[in-house]
Amino acid sequence: MKNSGWTRRESLAGLGAGAALTAALTSSCTKQTSEKKAEAKVESGPPAGHDRRIAWWRQAKFGMFIHWGLYSVLGRHEWVMENEGIPIPEYEQLARQFKPKPNAARDWARLAKQAGMKYMVMTSKHHEGFANFSSKLTDYNASKQGPGRDLAAEFVDAARAEGLRCGFYYSLMDWHHPDGAICATDEQARRRFVDYIHGQIRELLTNYGKIDILWYDVAWPLDAAGWESEKMNNMVFQLQPDIIVNNRNKLPGDFSTPEQRIVAEADKDWESCMTMNESWGYHKADDNWKSPKTIVRNLITCARGGGNYLLNIGPKPDGSIPEESVKILTSVGKWVDKNQSTIFGAERCNVARSSYCNFSRKGNTLYIHVYDWPGDTVAIGGMKTKVKSARLLTSGHDVKVEQDDVRVRFTGLPATAPDPLATVIAVECESEPAQDMVEVVRKGRKRFKA
């Protein structure tokens, strides 16, 4: 698969990477709006009430992303309309063919719960422009087309039935709306389009009760001034005083959104969103699935960096979840269930270096997640903190600790991994666990001493 020099991973990343494409397109298409940039008042920090509104989310750590729309009918990635150059009238036919089974979202919510996820975010409208919700502003919506009912309402009910928080993803970029591109250079078009987008957001945040998250996406072809993003956020907070919003309407929002990678941003709330294969929307032929072990490691890495993990499913057009996603999430869920105290409510953790362990932390307790089990002894270099005691988390067995100036060793461990995904050693420390490879290991070893 990798012999062409242009792998599928690279090509999909290139084709689907909205952010990069947006940057390229934005620079060529926003002449007029870039003039407005100077006038734009750019918010520098999160919106008012940030700590209060986001408190639940900081604990929640793990969410389900759902990409579902007309592209699911074709099953060739959610960018199929753009990437295959499908003409709008041809693509519109899909709206009649999209006939999901009733309440498919119930299965998503049950699976999310089982996987240990605490919230769900569904595409209310992706770049294709089709609204999964009832909209008075366009007939290109689920109630008026094939589904014949409001899929956003079903989604919200399903999440609530499982006690999960729920949010709407909403794409600002719109390939279907006649003003969706020309708005960059035609002020009247921009006025109409921005009123439409603000209007749809108003519908989403008015008609479904309490919504916990608004997840904007791709702001092409306008900037914050062009989108009137401050006004947009003000409306959002007026309609939903407890909601959190992301940063993709070109304002900082309540959290940032590294995509397909984990970046622990300093002094900021952040959420890594990721696919389980390589596509967000259903893609029949995409079989490049991440293993449950990779997903668990990613979740731990997010917890370690004080962030969240938003993991995607791309349901089929009937709403059913691809079998492989069910399998992966089921085994991830078993691990999360046994090890939940190491993830939920975890705080940023300074200990990070190991070739076979990952880490998370709560107060003075360090959780060592051993993903490649070395056998009798696990050793960590550079610990600056005195270790008081250690135990295997799930069995509760005490673990022997030997600590000197440069390393701490946990010995007498079983020969084979108790949990093949990751076995956790819970370590009680005298103070907040910290690791310093340079001061403690490099300079601490005898050969560096005078």
Per DSSP, 426 falls in state: E
Stretch of 14-22, 197-205, 232-240, 404-412 lying at the interface with ligand GLC (CB under 6 A) = 14-22
Residues numbered 100 to 119 that lie near ligand GLC (CB under 6 A) are none
Stretch of 16-24, 88-96, 134-142, 351-359 lying at the interface with ligand GLC (CB under 6 A) = 16-24
Say whether residue 278 binds ligand GLC (CB under 6 A): no
Contact partners, residue 135, CB within 8 Å, separation at least 6 = 141, 200, 203
Query: Among residues 86 and 218, whose Cβ is nearest to ligand GLC?
Result: 218
Contact partners, residue 346, CB within 8 Å, separation at least 6 = 61, 303, 304, 306, 360, 361, 362, 367
Query: Among residues 79 and 196, whose Cβ is nearest to ligand GLC?
Result: 79
Query: In this chain, which of 12, 18, 69, 216 binds ligand GLC, going by CB under 6 A?
Result: 18
CB of 53 to ligand GLC, least distance (A): 21
Residue 398: CB atoms within 10 Å: 11
Residues numbered 305 to 334 that lie near ligand GLC (CB under 6 A) are none
Query: Among residues 280 and 410, whose Cβ is nearest to ligand GLC?
Result: 280
- Three-state SS at 215: strand
Instruction: Give the β-pairing of 308-313 and 62-66.
Output: parallel
Query: Among residues 301 and 339, whose Cβ is nearest to ligand GLC?
Result: 301
Query: In this chain, which of 255, 280, 282, 309 binds ligand GLC, going by CB under 6 A?
Result: 280
CB of 263 to ligand GLC, least distance (A): 14
Query: In this chain, which of 121, 214, 218, 303 binds ligand GLC, going by CB under 6 A?
Result: 218
267 burial (CB, 10 Å; 0-12 / 13-18 / 19+) is exposed
Query: Cα(182)–Cα(32) distance, rounded to whole angstroms?
Result: 11
Contact partners, residue 419, CB within 8 Å, separation at least 6 = 335, 338, 394
Query: Among residues 82 and 419, whose Cβ is nearest to ligand GLC?
Result: 82
CB of 274 to ligand GLC, least distance (A): 9
Query: Among residues 17 and 379, whose Cβ is nearest to ligand GLC?
Result: 17
Query: Among residues 60 and 218, whose Cβ is nearest to ligand GLC?
Result: 218
Say whether residue 80 binds ligand GLC (CB under 6 A): no
Query: Among residues 67 and 250, whose Cβ is nearest to ligand GLC?
Result: 67
CB of 217 to ligand GLC, least distance (A): 5
Asked if 95 and 140 touch (Cβ cutoff 8 Å), the reply is yes
Residue window 351-380: x/- pattern of binding to ligand GLC, with contact defined by CB under 6 A? ------------------------------
Query: Cα(246)–Cα(17) distance, rounded to whole angstroms?
Result: 18
Strands of 357-362's sheet in order across: 357-362, 365-370, 423-429, 387-392, 398-403, 407-411, 378-381
Say whether residue 254 binds ligand GLC (CB under 6 A): no
Residue 231: CB atoms within 10 Å: 11
Asked if 227 and 37 touch (Cβ cutoff 8 Å), the reply is no
CA distances from 144 to 95, 99, 158, 207 (A): 9, 12, 21, 17
186 burial (CB, 10 Å; 0-12 / 13-18 / 19+) is middle
CB of 190 to ligand GLC, least distance (A): 22
CB of 450 to ligand GLC, least distance (A): 53
Say whether residue 259 binds ligand GLC (CB under 6 A): yes
Query: In this chain, which of 174, 217, 278, 419 binds ligand GLC, going by CB under 6 A?
Result: 217
136 burial (CB, 10 Å; 0-12 / 13-18 / 19+) is exposed
Q: Is 240 left (phi over 0), alpha (psi -120 to 50) or beta?
A: beta
CB of 335 to ligand GLC, least distance (A): 25
Query: In this chain, which of 66, 251, 273, 413 binds ligand GLC, going by CB under 6 A?
Result: 273
Per DSSP, 261 falls in state: S
Query: Among residues 79 and 119, whose Cβ is nearest to ligand GLC?
Result: 79
Say whether residue 16 binds ligand GLC (CB under 6 A): yes
DSSP of 307-320: -EEEEEE---TTSP
Query: Among residues 244 and 392, whose Cβ is nearest to ligand GLC?
Result: 244
- The amino acid sitting at 185 is T
Query: Among residues 18 and 317, whose Cβ is nearest to ligand GLC?
Result: 18
Binding residues (CB under 6 A) for ligand GLC: these are 16, 18-19, 67, 78-79, 217-218, 259, 273, 280
